[in-house]
Amino acid sequence: MNDSHLSTTRGRPVNEEARLERMRKILAGARACFVRSGFHASSIAEISAAAGVSTANIYQYYPNKDALILALIEEDLEVDLQLIGMIGRTDFSSHAVQQILEPFLYSESGRAVAALRAEIISEAARNATVMAMVASNDAKSIAAIARAIEQAKTNGLVGKSVDSDAVAEQMGLMFEAILRQILIAPDRSRHIFAHYLAHIDAVLSPSERKP
């Protein structure tokens, strides 16, 4: 009798850890190809080579490239939520936000995220399913920022008069603008990032915080 941890179904590992690792490799390969060549120019064969798996393996998990890009959008949401969670554990000062976001934004991984998001937005203009997921995930990210600000208000770190929803939307939109500028004008992205930090000080300034 086969050990259940080692058995497979049509090449798909039954073991959950092995299954998740296979999916991680596929998505990493797809991300690398989409960043390098774009969504439409990347073939499943190229993705399988980058991932180190067979094309048959890819189709077992993702029936087409649309499914791959939807899965990558979900991964990017997790990145956003992790960053928001980290910021939510600070005092919401511009210095604290800078310490979290700057190492991410101005790294190879940050630039790769920016490049993929540009590709996703381009695809969303043509694909209603992708557009719907992008809109849904944007709303989830902004809601998470608003919740973090509300918690900061409860903890006395942010003034009670702050409109959490409005500030969260502003922060989300400015963050996306920084990512876009990282691709097309890196120096300008630094300028926008400075404005982003100044905006945080303006709307969540010490004078607005509970004594």
**Under 8 Å CB-to-CB from 50, ≥6 apart: which residues?**
28, 29, 30, 32, 33
**Under 8 Å CB-to-CB from 169, ≥6 apart: which residues?**
142
What pLDDT digit, counting tens, does each position of 52-62 carry? 999 999 999 99
Tell me: pLDDT of 9 over 80.
Answer: no
Residue 2 confidence (pLDDT): 43
User: What is the number of alpha carbons within 13 Å of residue 46 lying toward its C-beta?
Assistant: 15
What are the contacts of 148-151 at 24+ separation with CB within 8 A? Answer: 148/84, 148/85, 148/87, 148/88, 149/92, 149/204, 151/88
Residue 160 confidence (pLDDT): 85
3 state SS of 9:
strand
Distance CA 54, CA 47 (A): 9
Phi/psi class of residue 36: alpha, beta or left (left: φ > 0; alpha: ψ in -120 to 50)? alpha
Grade residue 12 by pLDDT with cuts at 50, 70 and 90: low
State the average pLDDT over residues 11-17.
Answer: 68
Residue 134 confidence (pLDDT): 94
3, two tokens: 């050990």
pLDDT exceeding 70 applies to what percent of the chain? 90
